[in-house]
Structure 1
């Protein structure tokens, strides 16, 4: 069958298309191999001969095609970030950053997350309703990360726009010359602003994320450079902001479209954790990710691009019973929404916690919660992320 990931029908409902695609193990579409079965997607993620370094290559190719002038800041960000690197660089960076992104450190953020969520939900309650994207899902992760980095007010007003521009690096094949110019400027501005904060924390360490990244050290004495700390901070926003926003919005929509699950969470807000885990499987914020083969594997040849359909894998009936049913008691541990293997999402636990607190707060505060429209628009600036533009609800 034909598969056009850009199509409006796929954006509205990719899952009926995925259902047909799973009937065959692999498809060649737009010059890429498309994998949709859970076993196939998981196998590629575990196979380190499939490289995640495709994006830096595509950025260089687009820059050569569209832009005159150095792309230095963008290329360094792409080649020195956890998201885009392979071993040995990835293993070195991960060993250092993992010392900071611990389960204990993420759990310690719960009170701060709850305070922001309470403020946003209380404001919505006073107004009798809200756009759950603009008024809750979008500001929550942005404010939480700004707080964790202890960024000054002057930076906070710009971080959202910087993040929106830089996230286009995740899909370089879609970037125009104007996009590259804007992203280069955003990277330079964000990096310059962070450089001042990093210098200050190096001289006067605190308990924030920047100070902890600077202090991280392996047994062999290795540390992150100032530039590497800068790039980790930037990618915390770029990789974690929009996906967390989508997770909250997709979860709330699924709950309100499934009355039995909505009532279950209304009666037991402590089921929010299960609701978030099921949302990750049922309507994954990150639908697609890419790899490039470095050796021949079956019909895939070295140099071939491979598109991994996480959203399709997470509804594979070989792994999940009745996969098109949303059930917050399911506990689908095998979902691949955060990837798998060495490139598993570093901030997955933080995204889950923020979505869980958001739903807990909303369902505890709102005695009556309902959709104001059955017509929903899905964002169209990203091919890989599935998230709503708006979600009007009454409280």
Structure 2
């Protein structure tokens, strides 16, 4: 689909949706209308997902195939003949329409990002970055994450409450990543706004006139700032993430180029911050709406790991991802042709009753290893372990330092700057302090 066609179908959906298939035959289920841009879908997409799974689990609408069942979504994610390179192609086409000359960096950022590369580039980059993003490396960050989260929680408890999004979910992942990279103080204040602006590259079809030009400026500023940091670490390496990426080598001696390293750092923020923030907000909201589960966590903060895993399944931060078929393939009897776009509804797959018992219930003691919130296969989320650990520590701190967490309003507003990430704009809560301080 061309960028213009993508914008057209997106606008059509926003105006009221398009039928997700033809008229039903005989006693077949009624046609389901899939509109991921509507306010009702943003408020609660899961009733529509359920109807789609039951009536038309594999159907064509808005110029693409939409998959909602766990088996189908997982099958495409693990099939390496489905390409993840759609977004860079769309960005490149949009960039070619600009009159300015300095668009190459934005194009290369898309082409060289782990999220969007196919093999052999993906295997090479992943092999290098995986040497740094390991379980032990992430575990070593836990004391600092606990210190940051503990400080945020203590301030909130002392104040009697907070906006859990602005005061905990948003600052935690940005601060942790800045610390891991050991970024200088003057750069840290700019990273958050830059990251928010660059997010448009993940959904180029949503960019308005002028957005890409602004993104080009931001990417250049971010890259230049990191150039200076990388040069300093090359001269004086330490134990930080950038130094470790500089030192990463394959058995054959291959290493990241200077620009590849910068792109990895940029995408650590772009791909990680928004989803981790949404995981924390969505997870806390689920606990507030299920007071029996929240009470369990207050009594036993060690259940925080299970609460995070269930939050990932129950209300996934990343709701959708796209692939492009590179060959003709059949899914549930439907022929997907080479070149067809496929929208994988991760949020729908994670509520599939064929895989999860009582899928619409929130249960922090359930086994949730099969969830697809972090994707699956070779494009499985690089920062999944870090996101889980941060959310677990935050819940341990929050529920260990309080006897009760209460929502101040049931009038919630969901963000609308992304069609693939589900997260709250704000979540004001009242906190009732426990006798003990938040754990470190």
Q: Shorter-chain TM-score category?
A: over 0.9
Determine if contact 1:62/1:173 at 8 Å carries over to the other structure.
no
- Structure 1 equivalent of residue 34 of structure 2: 3
Q: 47, 51, 73: which is aligned to 2:105?
A: 73
Of 83, 88, 94 in structure 1, the residue corresponding to residue 115 of structure 2 is: 83
Q: Which residue of 1 aligns with 2:407?
A: 371
Equivalent residue number for residue 15 of structure 1: 46
Max Rg structure: 2
Corresponding residue SS for 1:6: coil
Q: CA deviation at 1:154?
A: 0.6
CA distance in 2, matches of 1:156, 1:29: 42
* Aligned counterparts of 1:81 and 1:19: Cα–Cα separation in 2: 33
- Do structure 1's residue 269 and structure 2's residue 292 form an aligned pair? no
Q: Please, which of 415, 418, 438 is the counterpart of residue 382 of structure 1?
A: 418
Count, aligned residues = 395
Deviation at 1:374, TM superposition (A): 1.0
Q: Provide the C-alpha distance between the structure 1 equivalents of 2:357 and 2:165, rounded to a whole number of angstroms.
A: 30
Cα drift, residue 380 of structure 1: 0.5
- Aligned partner of 1:345 in structure 2 is 381
Matches within 5 A, 1:169-318: 169-298=201-330, 299-318=335-354
- Give yes or no for the alignment of 1:359 onto 2:395: yes
| Residue among 150, 153, 156 paired with 2:188 | 156
Give the deviation of 1:378 after TM superposition.
Answer: 0.5
**Structure 1 residues 359 and 67: CA distance shift in structure 2, 3 A:** farther
More helix by share: 1
Aligned to 1:94: 126
CA–CA distance in structure 1, aligned partners of residues 60 and 97 of structure 2: 25
Query: SS of the counterpart of 1:306?
Result: strand
Deviation for aligned residue 1:66: 5.6
CA contact (8 A) 1:51 1:291 kept: yes
Distance 2:429 2:139 in 1: 29
Q: Distance in 2 between matches of 1:167 and 1:376?
A: 23
- Structure 2 CA distance for aligned equivalents of residues 230 and 64 of structure 1: 23
Q: TM-score, normalised by structure 1?
A: 0.99
Matched-pair contact (CA < 8 Å) for 1:67–1:180? no
Deviation for aligned residue 1:69 = 3.7
C-alpha contact 2:127 2:250 (8 A) present in aligned 1: yes
Which structure carries more relative contact order (alpha carbon 8 Å, separation 6+)?
Answer: 1
**Cα RMSD over matched residues?**
0.9
Conserved 8 A contact 1:66-1:177: no
Deviates more, 1:62-71 or 1:90-99: 62-71
Contact 1:243–1:385 (8 Å) recurs in 2: yes
Distance in 2 between residues matched to 1:137 and 1:166, nearest whole Å:
19
Does structure 1 residue 334 correspond to structure 2 residue 365?
Answer: no
- Taking structure 2 as the reference length, the TM-score comes to 0.89
Partner-residue secondary structure (3-state), 1:292: strand
Q: Give the deviation of 1:60 after TM superposition.
A: 1.6
Q: Does 1:394 align with 2:394?
A: no
Q: Provide structure 1 residue ranges, at least 5 long, that are not aligned to the other structure.
A: none
> 1:63 touches 1:177 (CA, 8 Å); kept in 2?
no
Distance (whole Å) between structure 2 residues aligned to residue 239 and residue 94 of structure 1? 15
For 1:190 and 1:369, the matched residues in 2 are separated by 38
**Helix, strand or coil at the partner of 1:82:** coil
The gaps in structure 2 that reach 5 residues or longer are 1-31, 432-440
CA deviation profile, 1:87-145 (whole Å, cap 9, x unmatched):
00000000000000000000000000000001101111111100000000000000000
Kindly indicate whether the alpha-carbon contact (under 8 Å) linking 1:66 and 1:176 is maintained by their aligned counterparts in 2: no
Q: Which residue of 2 aligns with 1:108?
A: 140
